[in-house]
């Protein structure tokens, strides 16, 4: 534990020296003379006078430093039956050209570009092209419906939107362009231009004057050079679900992000330049931003972009095939993907078909890693399986078993220890540290390390209110848990109304907004309840308006379709029940936590603040599925 302990202590007692050293790994156009600007707490800025370009660090520098012919990105798409490899040189050239195309459409430093794409290389190219110009990308996950896309377009106010004609799910082709058109009908903000990648699986109606195809945009585009930006300038905005239906635009800066991500590849993941690293996620999520795109490229690795699923494309051996075929050293995915494989191939028979000799470590994050899944993965893989904990706001791991320092014994169910830079505490309601082994709110002492969100897009006060005001001097993670006698962290789940469905972070608030908009609904609550495969699934409860004359079965179907069409298929809402009333506190707050506890079969105490305990008694059989 010595190496880890020394690094951790140093990162907390002397963060400036610690991150100054880490910043040596980055190519600066102007080296930062100041490491941390702490003059305006609770706002902190890393490397405030440094200048760099993130795309230059991810691509050009590796071309110049001898990796030009090394694969930078391997696109592996079982859903289309294609594979394509880009060397660092080829990816740099493609990105430079698309950056030129964007520049031709008027995109300049500081402008926003929304990217709504399936898992195709052009999505990555578009992200890096924005970085090259100093423009700010905002990627919206393809599984989100038009309404969610519109909300993000209105907040980010992009000059250009980059999208595709379609995404490909195992059972259907998902037409993206009509969803984009619908989103643009719904949004108040109108981007000047839309660039649409036309895929062979579906056409796209291009609106003259506004839309142009990817091919047209690229035609004759001159490669653009890297534009230096301040370390504190935004690289991207990524919207994440909060407690309300209004997502928060997590801002990522350029300098802190590059420094932290590169550091994490070596010390958290134990990966060397030249290695093949595969994050089986989606570029629409933070895991995709950080560990499909930026970190592996900043570190000179080969990254894999996989357009497929863990099962069904074509079978439960898909992940092992990709690992073997591309010589993957470390795979990062969500526990739900492993549970899906386990369900279909409980004995891991598919493994025998593949040569996994170069595969060293499986990393899991995005939701709690339940001990059953952990033990199963260790048994069939016979390699280290590493749980680690982080979130969109942090951008990189906050707790992990650090493979590049000295790895520690694993305790199944714990993501191990705080990563250097993260001064983790577990506090009670008054903000005091709780004794070891006692549950409370997990918080991080300020300043947050580089790479973490410096603010919420266009809303400094929302940043303070959502994350910093509950416990002054600390950042509120939104997770509850405890630290045990050995200093291991145990994350028990969210303390707010955020839920996690198959590794997708969703807001119950946005589902409630959709349900509440139905004319027959007086009020409603959505809670996330435990699910064997997906971790959690949303369940809705509605109270009808007095005199509402509706067939309950029809209403249920209508509400499920509405959530699917307005939030997205990923919400996977399958269950809405009509109930006589919702349990509330005397001040009118719906007791969602109590409902969730009962639905999960816990011996949930009746809160002393409840307005009418008989409401809970009536609801109990419905929550338990015994009505
Ligand atoms: N575009 C459009 N639709 C999408 C989509 C996308 N990018 N991603 C998912 N969807 C749709 C799916 O087609 C599905 O629709 P359906 O209801 O018509 O079947 C729905 O959203 C739910 O998808 P998904 O969450 O993928 O569930 P699933 O039941 O199809 O598969 C798993 C279950 C566990 C195999 C799958 O969720 C999985 O691979 N999870 C890994 C999670 C992950 O990578 N998380 C990222 C954080 S690390
Ligand atoms: P996201 O912002 O989508 O990455 O989701 C972050 C949330 O997922 C965290 O706040 C946690 O609630 C949950 N989470 C992520 N990783 C883990 C983990 N290893 N263990 C438990 N919960 C996790």
User: CB under 6 Å to ligand 1: residues?
Assistant: 118, 142-143, 167, 169, 174, 281-282, 285, 287, 309-311, 334, 336-337, 340, 366, 502-504, 569-570, 572
CA dihedral 590, 595, 597, 600 (to 10 degrees): -150
Phi, psi of 372 (to 5 degrees): -60, -45
Nearest 5°: CA angle at 212, between 210 and 216?
150
Ligand whose nearest atom lies closest to the CA of 441 = 2
Q: What is the pLDDT of residue 2?
A: 87
What pLDDT does 520 receive? 97
Mean pLDDT of 156-174: 97
449-479 pLDDT per residue, tens: 999 999 999 999 999 999 999 999 999 999 9
pLDDT at position 468: 98
Q: Residue-wise over 235-250: b if at least 16 C-beta within 10 A, else e?
A: bbbbbbbbebbbbbbb
Q: How far apart are alpha carbons 590 and 610 in whole angstroms?
A: 9
Ligand lying nearest the CA atom of residue 503: 1
CB of 367 shorter than 6 A to ligand 2: yes
If one residue of 77, 118, 143, 389 were mutated to test the ligand 1 pocket, choosing by the most ligand atoms within 8 A of its CB, it would be 143
Phi, psi torsion values for 135, nearest 5 degrees: -85, 165
- What is the average per-residue pLDDT within 537-541? 97
Please give the number of the atom of ligand 2 that sits closest to the Cα of 505: 3
How far is residue 81's CA from residue 452's CA, in Å, rounded to a whole number?
A: 37
Res. 244: pLDDT tops 80: no
Q: Tell me the best of 503, 563, 566, 567 to mutate to test the pocket of ligand 1, counting ligand atoms within 8 Å of each CB and taking the most.
A: 503
Q: What integer pLDDT is reported at residue 627 of this predicted model? A: 62
pLDDT(243) > 90: no
C-beta separation of 298 from 254 below 8 A? no
Residue-level pLDDT at 625? 84
Q: How far, in Å, is the centroid of ligand 1 from the Cα of 455?
A: 29
CA–CA distance, 372 with 342 (Å, rounded to integer): 10
Cα 392 to middle of ligand 2, angstroms: 8
Q: What is the pLDDT of residue 246?
A: 85
CB 454 within 8 A of CB 251: yes
Is residue 567 scored above 90 in pLDDT?
yes
Ligand 2 centre distance from Cα of residue 446 (Å): 20
Which sequence spans correspond to the domains of the chain? 82-227, 502-623
Among 285, 304, 365, 569, say which to mutate for ligand 1: greatest number of ligand atoms within 8 Å of CB: 569
Can you give the three-state secondary structure of 311-364, one letter per residue? CCCCCCCHHHHHHHHHCCCEEEECHHHHHHHHHHCCCCHHHHHCCCCCCCEEEE
From the CA of 477, give the closest atom in ligand 2: 10
The residue whose C-alpha atom lies closest to atom 6 belonging to ligand 1 is: 143
- State in Å: Cα 162 to ligand 1 middle: 22
* CATH superfamily entry for domain 502-623: ANL, C-terminal domain (3.30.300.30)
Strand partners, 114: 138, 161
Which numbered atom of ligand 1 lies nearest the CA of 312? Answer: 35
74-99 pLDDT tens trace:
999 999 999 999 999 999 999 999 99
- Model-level pTM? 0.96
For residue 282 and ligand 2, the question of a CB distance below 6 A is answered with no
**Ligand nearest the Cα atom of residue 535:** 1
Q: Which of 500, 508, 536 to mutate to test the pocket of ligand 2 (most atoms within 8 A of CB)?
A: 500
Cβ–Cβ < 8 Å for 480, 439: yes
* Ligand 2 pocket residue status of 479, Cβ below 6 Å: yes
User: Is pLDDT at 42 greater than 90 in this prediction?
Assistant: yes
Mean pLDDT of 366-393: 97
DSSP 456: B
Q: Among 166-170, 245-249, 262-266, 303-307, where is mean pLDDT lowest?
A: 245-249
Q: How high is the mean pLDDT of the chain?
A: 96
C-alpha 402 to ligand 2 mean position (Å) = 18
Tokens encoding 229: 């930006």
> From atom 9 of ligand 2, which residue's Cα is the shortest distance away?
391
Task: Report the pLDDT value the prediction gives residue 1, as an integer from 0 to 100.
Answer: 58
**What is the pLDDT averaged over residues 170-189?**
97
Task: Give percent of the chain with pLDDT exceeding 90.
Answer: 95
Mean predicted confidence (pLDDT) in 148-167? 98
What's the average model confidence in pLDDT over 572-582?
94
504 lines ligand 2 (CB under 6 A): no
Say which ligand is closest to the CA of 528.
Answer: 2
The topology (CATH level 3) of 82-227 is Rossmann fold (3.40.50)
Residue whose CA is closest, atom 3 of ligand 1?
A: 143
Q: Give the model's confidence band at 384: pLDDT under 50 very low, under 70 low, under 90 confident, else very high.
A: very high
Quick check: helix, strand or coil at residue 335? helix
Residue whose CA lies nearest to ligand 1 atom number 19: 569
Q: How far is the CA of 220 from the centre of ligand 2 (A)?
A: 44
pLDDT tens, 43-85?
Answer: 999 999 999 999 999 999 999 999 999 999 999 999 999 999 9
Closest ligand 1 atom, residue 174 Cα: 2
CA terminus-to-terminus distance, the chain:
53
């Amino acid at each position: 534990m010595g190496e880890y302990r020394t690094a951790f202590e140093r990162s907390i007692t002397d963060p400036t020296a610690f991150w100054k050293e880490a910043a040596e790994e980055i190519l600066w156009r102007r080296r930062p003379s100041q490491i941390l600007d702490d003059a305006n707490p609770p706002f902190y800025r890393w490397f405030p006078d440094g200048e760099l370009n993130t795309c230059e660090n991810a691509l050009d520098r590796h071309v110049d430093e001898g990796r030009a012919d090394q694969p930078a990105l391997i696109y592996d798409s079982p859903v289309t039956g294609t594979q394509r490899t880009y060397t660092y040189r080829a990816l740099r050239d493609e990105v430079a050209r698309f950056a030129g195309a964007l520049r031709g459409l008027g995109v300049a430093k500081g402008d926003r570009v929304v990217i709504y794409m399936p898992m195709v290389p052009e999505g990555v190219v578009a992200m890096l092209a924005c970085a090259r110009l100093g423009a700010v990308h905002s990627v919206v996950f393809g599984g989100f419906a038009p309404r969610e896309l519109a909300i993000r377009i209105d907040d980010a106010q992009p000059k250009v939107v980059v999208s595709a004609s379609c995404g490909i799910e195992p059972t259907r082709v998902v037409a993206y362009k009509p969803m984009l058109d619908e989103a643009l009908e719904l949004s108040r903000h109108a981007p000047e231009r839309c660039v649409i990648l036309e895929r062979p699986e579906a056409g796209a109606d291009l609106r003259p004057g506004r839309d142009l195809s990817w091919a047209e945009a690229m035609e004759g585009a001159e490669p653009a050079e890297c534009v230096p930006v301040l370390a504190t300038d935004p690289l991207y905005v990524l919207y994440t679900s909060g407690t309300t239906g209004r997502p928060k635009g997590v801002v990522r800066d350029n300098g802190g992000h590059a420094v932290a991500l590169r550091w994490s590849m070596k010390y958290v993941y134990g990966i060397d330049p030249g290695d093949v690293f595969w994050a089986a996620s989606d570029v629409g999520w933070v895991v995709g931003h950080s560990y499909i795109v930026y970190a592996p490229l900043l570190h000179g690795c080969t990254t894999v972009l996989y357009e497929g699923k863990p099962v069904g494309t074509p079978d439960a051996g898909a992940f092992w095939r990709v690992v073997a075929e591309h010589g993957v050293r470390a795979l990062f995915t969500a526990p739900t993907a492993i549970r899906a494989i386990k369900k279909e191939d409980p004995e891991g028979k598919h493994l025998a078909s593949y040569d996994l000799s170069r595969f060293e470590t499986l990393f899991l994050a995005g939701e709690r890693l339940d001990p059953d899944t952990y033990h199963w993965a260790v048994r069939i893989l016979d390699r280290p399986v590493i749980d680690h904990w982080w979130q969109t706001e942090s951008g990189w791991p906050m707790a992990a078993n650090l493979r590049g320092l000295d790895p520690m014994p694993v305790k199944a169910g714990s993501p191990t220890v705080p990563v250097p830079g993260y001064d983790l505490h577990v506090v009670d309601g008054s903000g005091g540290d709780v004794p070891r082994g006692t549950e409370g709110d997990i918080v991080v002492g300020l300043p947050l390390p580089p790479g973490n969100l410096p603010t919420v897009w266009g809303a400094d006060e929302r940043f303070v209110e959502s994350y910093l005001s509950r416990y002054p001097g600390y950042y509120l993670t939104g997770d509850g848990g405890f630290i045990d006698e050995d200093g291991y962290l145990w994350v028990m789940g969210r303390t707010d109304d955020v839920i996690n469905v198959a590794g997708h972070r969703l807001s119950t608030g946005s589902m409630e907004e959709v349900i509440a908009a139905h004319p027959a609904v007086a009020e409603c609550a959505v809670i996330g309840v435990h699910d064997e495969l997906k971790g959690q699934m949303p369940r809705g409860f509605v109270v009808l308006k007095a005199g509402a004359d509706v067939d309950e079965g029809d209403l249920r179907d209508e509400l499920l379709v509405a959530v699917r069409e307005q939030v997205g298929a990923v919400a996977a809402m399958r269950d809405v029940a009509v109930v006589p009333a919702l349990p509330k506190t005397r001040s009118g707050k719906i007791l969602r936590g109590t409902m969730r506890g009962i639905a999960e079969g816990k011996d949930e105490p009746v809160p002393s603040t409840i307005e009418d305990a008989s409401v809970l008694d009536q609801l109990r059989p419905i929550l338990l599925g015994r009505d």
